[in-house]
Structure formats: structure tokens, C-alpha cells
Structure 1
Amino acid sequence: MGGYGSALKSAIDVTYSMGFEAPEFPADWPPLLTDELVGRIYAEMTESLDGTELSIEEIGLKCAPVHFALKPAIDKAIGTATLLTLGAVQYGDDVFFSPNSLDVDELAHSGNYHVWLTLPSCEIIDLTLTSALYLKKCLSSSAAGRPIIMHADANPQMHWAPLLVGDDMVQQLLSRFS
């Protein structure tokens, strides 16, 4: 199991230890992402959004609700469950969204976290990071809004660090905003 897979296993253990539900998740499947599958993912997301258009600001500032809302469509397209994953992201030498605490109330208050989807192959689907990095003046406008769909360890410039996982944890986080 690679770097991301090991970190994901630790995040699952921490999630359980904090009293949240987290599904069994193998994280050792062979790669799933093909051009055909990515096409099905886009088709399911488009159908799920039903013409709703989101601005770069709405996407970049709402990683948890965007991924939570689109997870069922993506799971349907893939044919298996993805895992909502909360953690930190490093882009180049800069670390973004690095929580000081894993307490859900503190996370909700600080907003210092990022949420993405993990596939059982340790590939990730991150629909909001490029928009968030654009808003932080780290990417050009031409890169903003582009989803990242790749193996978590594929790009040495990008590093996702999973800390907590699961629908239950994200639902608890989102409930703090209602």
C-alpha cells in the first residue's frame, strides 16, 4: 500500500476512534479511472446537477457540500462507493487547509480543511480544489473550476493528506452550518 493508502488507513482508524461511522474500505483495488469511466462520471454529475450552475466562488468555498451532494451520482457512475475524505492539501511547497484540530465544531468554525472523494483504488476525485487554489491566488483563472481526477500519488506537486473519512463525519460537519 502506497503513501496515500497508508494515510487513508490511519484516517479510517482515527475516524472510528472519534466515534464516527466509517465504512469498510479496501483501498487496494487496481486503478479504476479510464476515459470511459470519467465520461460516465461527468454524465452522472451533469444529470444530478440538472442545469444548476455554480460560480468559481461557490465551488471553491464549499468543498464539503459539493462532494457530499455529488457523491451518489459519482458512486452510481463508478459502480461502487467512494469515500468522503477530509484532510490537508499540499501544492508545491505550500500547505493549504491544514486543520489544527480534528474536533468537528472547531473544523466548522475555522474552515481550515478540505474535502474530496477517494476511490477504493486510492484514486481521487476533487471537484473543488482548483477553484479554492484560484481564490487563494495560487492558480490562474484558466485552471479554476477544473476537477482533479487521478491517483493521489500521481503528481509530486500535489499531496492529499487524509485525516478523517466518511459520510457520518461530513454530515456532522455540515450540520454545524444549518
Structure 2
Amino acid sequence: MAYQDELMEAIARAKRLGLQTPEFQPKEGRLLNQKVHQDIPYIVRDALGDASVEQVASQCLSYHMKLLPILSDYFNEEITYTIGHVFMGDSTLFMQTEEQMIALIKSGINTPKLQIHAWLTLPTCEIMDFTLPTTYAVVNKTKEGLGSVLTGHADHLLNGLRYHPMLLGEDYLRRIGALLEFYAI
């Protein structure tokens, strides 16, 4: 199934689960190019500082949430916060079924470890994942991938890598207690 079709299914899933979801307005063409790849490290550094490996690895939810408005401004496009799992060859990373999501909506999270992954989707169905390569390197005790960013059109990623969106936006995270909101007093 094409990534854009999977995004539409993610929107339908959110509605079935009673979650608010952003609309996804697909566009033709590509936004990722050589200039973007040159600019992104500086944009991220200026916005978040020089992040340590610990601040990136296994921090996909908050890291991508912080980058969303900054990169939306940079591209002057609506970028979509995307939650789902990743197929890497024969392995599935961060798998969470719709049934598991329903259970978490009802009960909330009760463990600090949550099988979930988030990344950013551009309206051109290109993805930007700032945490998976570093998380994978840390878990597998290798230096390969540390500090890397995974980008490309979701339908044309290399080495059997495939992103599967389950939900769009952050309402699910709020509902299960994985995203706290802070209010100024």
C-alpha cells in the first residue's frame, strides 16, 4: 500500500478511536533537496542546542514534537506529526496494534517504556526521522547511525525500510498520558 493511502487509513483509524486528527493535504513533488539537507543540522542545533546521544535516543515523541513548528516554518508547509511503526527488513520496530491503542486509551500508560515511534511527514509524503538512526545505534551498540537523520520519500526508502503510520497528530499521546501540557501561571 502506498504511504499516502496509509496516511488516509491513519486518519480513519483516529476517527474510529474518537481522536482528533489533523487533515493531511498531499502535494506533488519533493521538498527535500540538497539545500534542505545542508540547512537542517543548523536549524535543529539553533532550535534545540547540541543534543547529546541520550537526548536523542528513544526520545522520538518529544524530539519530533519540538521540531514540528520549527520545520513547518522553515518549509512554509504544514508538516504532520506521525505515530506508527517501522519495518526494517524482517523486523518490525515499535509495533502497536489498533487493539493495543484502544486498551491504552482506556487505561493510560502504566510503564515508562512504550512501544511507539513518531516522525514527521511532509505534505509530499517525504519523511524526516531525527531519532531512529541514533536509537538504533545505541540499542545495537554501534557508532553507525549516531546523529544521523533519516529522510526521503516514504515509498522509496532503501534497504527494506518502510514506515507505517498508525495515527496523525498528538491527541493519542495526550489521551494515554504520554504527553504532558504545561500552562503558564
Cα deviation, residue 47, structure 1: 1.9
One of 62, 68, 71 as aligned partner of 1:71: 68
3-state SS in 2 of match to 1:43: helix
Give the structure-2-normalised TM-score.
Answer: 0.82
TM alignment of 1:57-136, pairs within 5 A: 57-100=54-97, 101-102=100-101, 103-104=104-105, 105-106=108-109, 110-136=113-139
Once the two structures are overlaid, the 10-residue window that deviates more, 36-45 or 59-68, is: 36-45
Contact 2:47 2:70 (8 Å CA) reproduced = yes
Is the CA contact 2:136–2:145 (under 8 Å) kept in the aligned structure 1?
no
Which 5+ residue runs of structure 1 have no aligned equivalent? none
- Whether the 8 Å contact between 2:137 and 2:144 is mirrored in structure 1 is no
Identity, in percent, stands at: 26
Quote the Cα distance in structure 1 between the aligned partners of 2:169 and 2:38.
25
Matched positions, count: 172
CA–CA distance in 2 between the matches of 1:45 and 1:76? 13
Please tell me whether Structure 1 or Structure 2 has the larger radius of gyration of its CA atoms.
Answer: 2
Q: Which moved more, 1:24-33 or 1:125-134?
A: 24-33
Unpaired runs of 5+ in structure 2? none
Which residue is equivalent to 1:43? Answer: 42
Q: Name the CA distance, whole Å, in 2 between partners of 1:48 and 1:109.
A: 26
Question: Which region of structure 1 is more displaced relative to structure 2, 62-71 or 156-165?
Answer: 156-165
Question: Cα deviations across residues 61-103 of structure 1 (Å, max 9, x unaligned)?
Answer: 1100000011111111111111111111111111110014113
Structure 1 runs of 4+ aligned residues shifted over 4 Å read: 106-110
